[in-house]
Amino acid sequence: MTLGATDAGSGVEKIKYTLDGTDFTVKGAAAAITVPGQGPHTLSYYSVDRAGNVESSAKPITFKIDSIKPLSNAPSLTGSTATSGGIIWYTGAVGVTLSASDPVPGSGVDKIKYKLNGAATFENYTGTFSPSTLLQGVNKLMYYSTDIAGNGSEADVKSITVNVDTTAPTTTATPPALGASGWYTGPVTVALKASDINGSAAVSGVSQITYSVDGKAPIVFTGAATAVTVSGEGSHTVTFSSVDKAGNVESTKTSTFKIDSTKSVTTVSLAGTKTTSANIWYTSAVGVTLSATDPVSGDIPGSGVAQIKYTLDGVASDYTTPFSVSSPGIHNLKYWSVDKAGNIEVKRTIAVNVDSIPPVTTASLVGTKNAAGTAYITPVTVSLPATDAAPGSGGVKTYYTLTTTIGTVTSITTGQYSKPIKLSAKAKYSLSFYSIDAAGNIEVAAPGTTFTLV
């Protein structure tokens, strides 16, 4: 500050002034005054010329000095919080209070300015507020203050981070691809994966996943991904949810699925006329009925039978209704079933043997006949060869009845043929015979063959 005086006469000798109650004298017509102190000041002054004339009255002025910037205090934040890893997360609305002070005897705080997340301009703070522009995730709040004297600018800006996470994480359950009809045929591994992202913003992050299988005691896994393997027949339910590091709890979710790892069981029923031999042969057409059940494990039902299949002599078919096997021969029947879960039964095999044709027996007489060809004159060898047309059951047995008449005496011999019969007695003979195959087919007895040995 500079004081200057003029005098048109003898000239200015000195300037006298009083600053904040202290008197000062400066020789000459000019006085430079430096006022270093902060706050209000009072200055009065007058001048004296060389002739001793004193300026009529002192001229007082008052002024204030404030060269110190105001102090912006750390914002006061209110709201529900959770701390994870030393980081504070707000889980609801955040109340923000900004304050500043101007050291005494300063001019006083004029304005507090703030902006969020890189906004283009600073706003004037007018009182506690809950910024609608706070985002999920990490927010940057910048602020500064100015005093009435104009101290303070954006160059004095301060900042804090405000971490906000008001939403629960999201957990997904991913089981393997479903099998037939929505059933699995073995243990099921369900992948549980949680994420804590709100929109495109990463928030506090997943803390843990809690899951339970079929109502059993919950299992807590620390982390964002795990897997649970479930086995056993029947329906199963996996319940699960996750919690983030801010303490937000996800609503419980469920994943349900069904397991059937037990194969169905197929039985066969054959109907027809049959023998009781070790190798069962049917002498009539054979009715074939297939049926299947899907076993119950405890009180847990299986998925149910989907299809019965069979092959007859290598030709595959789907079973729908009973069928008949009538052609002679040994038939190979394989059968099995598939349940709705896709379990395939091990193929079962049974032979269906059909022989409805009796064997054929012929008589062969070997000997020398007389010239007329009416009687044998040498011993006779009788053979009874029998055949069972392929593909017959075989195992042919031949039976015969031989009636011998010598004079007036008649004798009858019966038996099972095993080798050629040699006849040497002179007599009249009558031979009847028939054969039986392994299936029990009985040949119609041939009319008696008669011959005479003389």
* pLDDT for the residue numbered 396: 94
Stated length of the chain:
454
DSSP string for residues in 273-312: -B--SSS-EESS-EEEEEEEE---BTTB----EEEEEEEE
Q: Do 265-354 and 360-453 share a fold?
A: yes
Domain ranges of the chain: 2-65, 71-164, 170-258, 265-354, 360-453
Residues of the chain under the 50 pLDDT cut? none
Distance of CA 227 to the CA centre of its chain: 9
Peptide bond into 447 cis (omega under 30): no
- The bridge status of strand 265-271 relative to strand 39-49 is unpaired
Query: What CATH code would you report for 360-453?
Result: 2.60.40
Query: Which of these CATH numbers, 1.10.10.60, 3.20.20.110, 3.40.50.300, 2.60.40.10, describes 2-65?
Result: 2.60.40.10
Handedness of CA 370, 375, 381, 386 (dihedral sign): positive
Whether residue 258 contacts residue 179, with contact meaning beta carbons closer than 8 Å, is answered with no
Both structure tokens of 346: 């091990």
Could you tell me the fold of the domain covering 71-164?
Answer: Immunoglobulin-like (2.60.40)
The domain 265-354 having CATH identifier 3.20.20.70: the answer here is no
Q: Write the single-letter amino acid at 367.
A: G
**353 vs 329: CA distance, rounded Å:** 6
| pLDDT value at residue 298 | 65
How many whole angstroms separate alpha carbon 219 and alpha carbon 209?
8
DSSP secondary structure string for all residues of 84-141 = ETTEEEE-S--EEE--EE--TTS--EEEEEEEETT-SSPEEP-S-B--TTPPSEEEEE
Q: Is 156 helix (H, G, I), strand (E, B) or coil?
A: helix
The DSSP H or E segment spanning 78 is strand 76-78
pLDDT at position 330: 93
Quote the tokens at residue 298.
């405890």
Q: Tens digits of per-residue pLDDT, 19-55?
A: 988 888 899 999 999 988 888 999 999 999 999 999 8
Given the candidates 1.20.272.10, 3.60.70.12, 2.60.40.10, 2.40.40.20, the CATH classification of the domain at 170-258 is 2.60.40.10
Q: What is the pLDDT of residue 275?
A: 81
- What global pTM score does this model have? 0.68
Instruction: Report the pLDDT value the prediction gives residue 24, as an integer from 0 to 100.
Output: 86
C-alpha R_g of the chain: 60
pLDDT of residue 453: 95
HSE value, Cβ hemisphere, 13 Å, CA-based, for 395: 14
Q: 3-9: which pairs have CB atoms within 8 A and are 24 or more residues apart?
A: 3/30, 3/31, 3/32, 3/33, 3/45, 4/29, 4/30, 4/31, 5/29, 5/30, 5/47, 5/55, 7/47, 7/49, 7/50, 7/53, 9/49, 9/51, 9/53
The set of long-range contacts for 347-353, using a CB threshold of 8 Å and a minimum separation of 24, is 348/266, 348/268, 350/268, 350/270, 351/279, 352/270, 352/282, 352/286, 352/288, 352/325, 353/279, 353/280, 353/281, 353/282, 353/329, 353/393, 353/439
Closest CA to 1 of 33, 31, 28, 39: 33
